[in-house]
Amino acid sequence: MHQRKIPLYAGCGYSFTMQIIGGKWKICIIDALRDGPLRPSELFKAIPDATERVINQKIKELLNHKIINRTIYAQQPPRSEYFLTELGRSVFPLIDSLDDWGEKNRAVYEDVNPENISR
Amino acid sequence: MHQRKIPLYAGCGYSFTMQIIGGKWKICIIDALRDGPLRPSELFKAIPDATERVINQKIKELLNHKIINRTIYAQQPPRSEYFLTELGRSVFPLIDSLDDWGEKNRAVYEDVNPENISR
DNA sequence: TCATATACTGATAAATTTATCAGTATAGCC
DNA sequence: GGCTATACTGATAAATTTATCAGTATATGA
C-alpha cells in the first residue's frame, strides 16, 4: 500500500469533509447510488469516464469512511451490491449545493479564454 | 507552466465546483478573506500550515476563476490586497455546509483505528 | 552605496492521485 | 478439462499537486 508522508490536514471541518468526499470520483459514486444499491458492474457503467480500478479504489475508501456499505451474496459467480449508509445519505445536501453552484456558475467562464481559466 | 494531459472532468456541476474550490488550500484562502481584504503577508499568517508558494499559486487560480480580486497600490515597497468578488462570496454557503458536516461527523471516526480510516 | 521590505516568479523535487494493464479465485456449464 | 462471468487485487507508470528553495524588482531610508 501507500504510506503517507505528509499528514492529512483536517484542521477545519471542510478540510475533513473534503477528505471524505473529495477527489475525482467519490461524489460520482455516491450520486450513482442515490436511487438504490448497485452492483460493481452497474457502477462502472454509471461512471464510464473512470476506470474500474479507480472506482474500486474509491469504493474501498468510501467503505472505510462508512459512507457506503456492501452486501455480499454467497453465489457463484460472486455477486455484491453497494449501498449508501445513513452517513452517506447525509451528504446529499452537500452534493446538491455543490452541483447547483457549479451548474449556475459554469456560464461565468464560458466567455473566457480557457488559458485564462485553468490553474 | 504545466501542460495538462488529461482534460479536466467537469461533466457534473459538482465536478466543476470542485475544480474551482477544491484542492488543499483554496477554501482556507476564501475563508480567510471573509472578514475583509488581506494583504499577502496577512494571508500567509492566517494559513501558517501552507507555504507561501502554494498560497501564491492558489491565489492565482482564484483570481483566474474570479473568486477573488486584487487591489494594487502604487507604492514602494509594493502593497496589494486580495478580496472576495461577488462570486467568491457566493460560495460561503457551500463552505459552511462542508464545514458543518465535517465538524458534525468528525466524531464518527474517532473510535476507529486510523489504519481503517485512511484510503 | 547598501540593506530593507514587499510581492511576486522559476526551477525542480517530493508526494500523492489516477491510469494502465495484468492477474487471482471459483462454482457452474459445455 | 477448459471456458465463463464476477469481483476483486497487485505492480507500476503517468499525471498532477504540493513543497522546497532560491531569485527578481524597486522606492526608500540609513
Q: Which residue has the cell 466567455?
A: A111
A3 touches chain B (CB under 8 A): no
Terminal-residue alpha carbon distance, chain A: 30
Name the nt closest to A54 by C-alpha to C1'.
C18
A48 touches chain B (CB under 8 A): no
Instruction: State the pLDDT at residue A41.
Output: 94
pLDDT tens-digit map of B32-62? 999 999 999 999 999 999 999 999 999 999 9
Q: Can you give the pTM of this predicted structure?
A: 0.90
Neighbours of B1 (CB within 10 A): 6
d(CA B29, CA B22): 11
pLDDT tens-digit map of A62-104? 999 999 999 999 888 889 999 999 999 999 999 999 999 999 9
- Amino acid identity, residue B63? L
Listed in order, strand segments (DSSP E) in chain A are 68-73, 79-84
Percent over 70 (pLDDT), chain B: 92
At B72, which helix (H) or strand (E)? strand B68-73
Give the bases of strand C that a protein CB approaches within 7 Å: 4-11, 14-22, 25-28
What's chain A's length in residues?
119
